[in-house]
Structure 1
């Protein structure tokens, strides 16, 4: 799959600069930080246990979840991102993997977070990822998904630190992602829109 190889290669190239950009970002984004904290509360309320940050990048959100007391670990497609995450957060577990071939046991997770990591998947691959999320989550375990809100796709050809990239970035309306979640067997409990009048609005969905 060329989109998969292009995404891996692109994020390998920008890993160091991307880490510089997002390091500590939750401290300056109170709404995002509050939603991650709410997710942690939902995990604890559902029984606690292992939590996967799928598409974890350099591990900054994984580390924040661990600071909140969760047994969080990260999975990312980019080997270079995983190297950076392991270096910056040596006490945490990080693995190379794909959400479309998620190598985790059935019913093994107390929670799963996909934090702006579905944005590069083509529409016909999202159902595959969501089916894996449903498979690995325990009954009633929470799922939180963040993504770019809107319609349309753009090709990102350069990125963090000026390095060349070759990834498609998909914007999706929350109603569409909600429908996909329902089809995958999830019940959506909340939908939050972020910076609706901004250049790149976001959305976060909470589901079980």
Structure 2
């Protein structure tokens, strides 16, 4: 899906989304642990790419990370700035980021790529690799399943990825895999997370 379609879908439901999913306390404890542990090993500037309501950005800011949140949806950024005034947020696309080459030490993309058409995911990963310094780290969260299979997410069309296929795409984008996780929680779609470092 293109940026405009995704933006429009989330703008229509931004307040509802923030109310239901805009707090770290609503997130799985294992996800909190994983994201916290990942960020603790990163020293330098980070971004939360596709930060949504900004709860993960604020969470890592509170842990001492130097982090900024970016998102396509102005309503998410407005709300995040109001709720977390000490944290930096800006409207922007992680498909074409306003950061110089090789300047970031970490990129969190937690369920941020799920709405991107499979054909566009490789170029998106290349953009994430562009802004990372060598040995910078990426943490991806996504729905685990047959790669490219679409489903109707609560907001708009989303896609599954297998960890094997996503790992291959990351390798092609210049990353080495550090850790791969999958989990099946009762009543939820299968979850996957990959930590990778830029060569």
On whether the aligned pair clears a TM of 0.5, the verdict is: yes
In structure 1, what is the equivalent of residue 133 of structure 2? Answer: 138
Residues in 1 aligned to 2:157 and 2:178: alpha-carbon distance in whole angstroms:
29
Aligned-pair Cα RMSD in Å:
1.6
Residues in 2 aligned to 1:114 and 1:175: alpha-carbon distance in whole angstroms:
18
**Secondary structure at the counterpart of residue 182 of structure 2:** strand
Residues in 2 aligned to 1:196 and 1:126: alpha-carbon distance in whole angstroms:
26
Unaligned runs of 5+ in 1: 160-164
Q: Report whether the alignment pairs 1:121 with 2:120.
A: no
Q: Report whether the alignment pairs 1:67 with 2:62.
A: yes
Residues in 2 aligned to 1:135 and 1:113: alpha-carbon distance in whole angstroms:
14
**Secondary structure at the counterpart of residue 187 of structure 1:** strand
In structure 2, what is the equivalent of residue 16 of structure 1? Answer: 15
- Regions of 4+ moved over 6 Å: none
Aligned mate of 2:178, from 169, 185, 189:
189
- List aligned pairs for 1:26-45, cutoff 5 A: 26=25, 29-43=28-42
TM-score, L = length of structure 2: 0.92
Residues in 2 aligned to 1:92 and 1:25: alpha-carbon distance in whole angstroms:
15
Shift of 1:25: 3.4
Structure 1 contact 154–170 (Cα < 8 Å) conserved: yes
What's the CA shift string for 1:127-157, capped at 9, x where partnerless?
A: 111111111111111110000111220234x
Moved more, 12-21 or 179-188: 12-21
Residues in 2 aligned to 1:115 and 1:28: alpha-carbon distance in whole angstroms:
12
Structure 1 contact 26–32 (Cα < 8 Å) conserved: no
In structure 1, what is the equivalent of residue 90 of structure 2? Answer: 95
Structure 1 contact 15–84 (Cα < 8 Å) conserved: no
Shift of 1:118: 0.3
Structure 1 contact 51–72 (Cα < 8 Å) conserved: yes
Moved more, 34-43 or 112-121: 34-43
In structure 1, what is the equivalent of residue 159 of structure 2? Answer: 170
In structure 2, what is the equivalent of residue 50 of structure 1? Answer: 45
Aligned mate of 1:201, from 190, 195, 198:
190
TM-score, L = length of structure 1: 0.88
- Report the structure, 1 or 2, having the larger helix content: 1
Unaligned runs of 5+ in 2: none
Moved more, 184-193 or 90-99: 90-99
Number of positions where the alignment pairs a residue of Structure 1 with one of Structure 2: 195
Shift of 1:40: 1.2
